[in-house]
C-alpha cells in the first residue's frame, strides 16, 4: 500500500491543485490538515538556493547532500502539515496554505515547516490537497498521518523534519 493521491482522496482529501493553479478562494477557512504531493512524472531536482522567503533573517536553504538525505524514494507525499483554528478561530486551512504558498514565492512569512519543498525545482508544479477536520482532531490527525507514512516508508515525508505528536497523549 502507498500513501498517494488515491489513498488521500479515499480518506476525504480534496483540492489536488498545483501551487501554480491554486485559487485560495477554493480552500476552506476551516481547520484541517494538508499534504503536498509530487505530480505524475515528477523528477527530483534540487535548487542550490531555496525559493522560500527569509523569515527573521534566516536562510531557508540547506545543502544538496542534506536534501538528498531527506528524500524518500517512491513516495508521492512530500509534506503533511496542519492548520488549526487559532486563538480567535479564524486561521484555518486557507490562511495556513496561503502562508505556505507565499513563503514559497519568496515572501518573509513565518511558515518554516515544510521549507524543503521550496528547494525543489519546479515547486510550483507540486500538488496541494487538504482535508477539513474539527479543530480538536487536527493534531491527532497530523500525528496519525506522520506515523502511517513512517510505517510505510521508514521515515517522515521529505519536508517534514519533526514527527507530529498528538496533544492527547
Q: How confident is the model at residue 26, as a pLDDT?
A: 96
Radius of gyration of the CA atoms of the chain, in A:
15
Which three three-digit cell numbers place residue 111? 511558515
The tens digit of pLDDT for each residue in 94-114 reads: 999 999 999 999 898 876 778
d(CA 20, CA 35): 16
d(CA 140, CA 136): 8
Domain ranges of the chain: 5-153
The tens digit of pLDDT for each residue in 57-92 reads: 788 888 999 999 999 999 999 999 999 987 777 789
Amino acid at each position: 500500500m502507498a500513501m498517494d493521491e488515491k489513498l488521500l482522496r479515499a480518506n476525504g482529501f480534496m483540492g489536488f491543485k498545483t501551487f501554480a493553479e491554486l485559487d485560495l478562494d477554493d480552500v476552506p477557512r476551516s481547520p484541517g490538515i494538508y499534504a503536498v504531493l509530487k505530480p505524475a512524472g515528477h523528477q527530483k531536482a534540487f535548487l542550490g538556493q531555496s525559493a522560500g522567503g527569509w523569515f527573521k533573517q534566516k536562510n531557508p536553504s540547506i545543502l544538496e547532500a542534506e536534501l538528498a538525505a531527506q528524500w524518500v524514494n517512491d513516495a508521492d507525499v512530500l509534506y503533511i502539515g496542519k492548520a488549526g483554528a487559532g486563538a480567535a478561530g479564524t486561521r484555518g486551512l486557507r490562511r495556513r496554505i496561503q502562508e505556505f504558498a507565499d513563503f514559497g514565492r519568496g515572501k518573509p512569512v513565518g511558515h518554516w515547516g515544510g521549507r524543503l519543498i521550496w528547494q525543489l525545482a519546479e515547486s510550483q508544479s507540486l500538488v496541494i490537497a487538504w482535508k477539513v477536520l474539527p479543530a480538536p482532531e487536527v493534531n491527532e490527525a497530523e500525528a496519525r498521518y506522520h506515523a502511517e507514512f513512517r510505517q510505510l516508508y521508514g521515515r517522515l515525508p521529505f519536508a517534514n523534519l519533526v514527527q507530529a505528536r498528538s496533544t492527547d497523549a
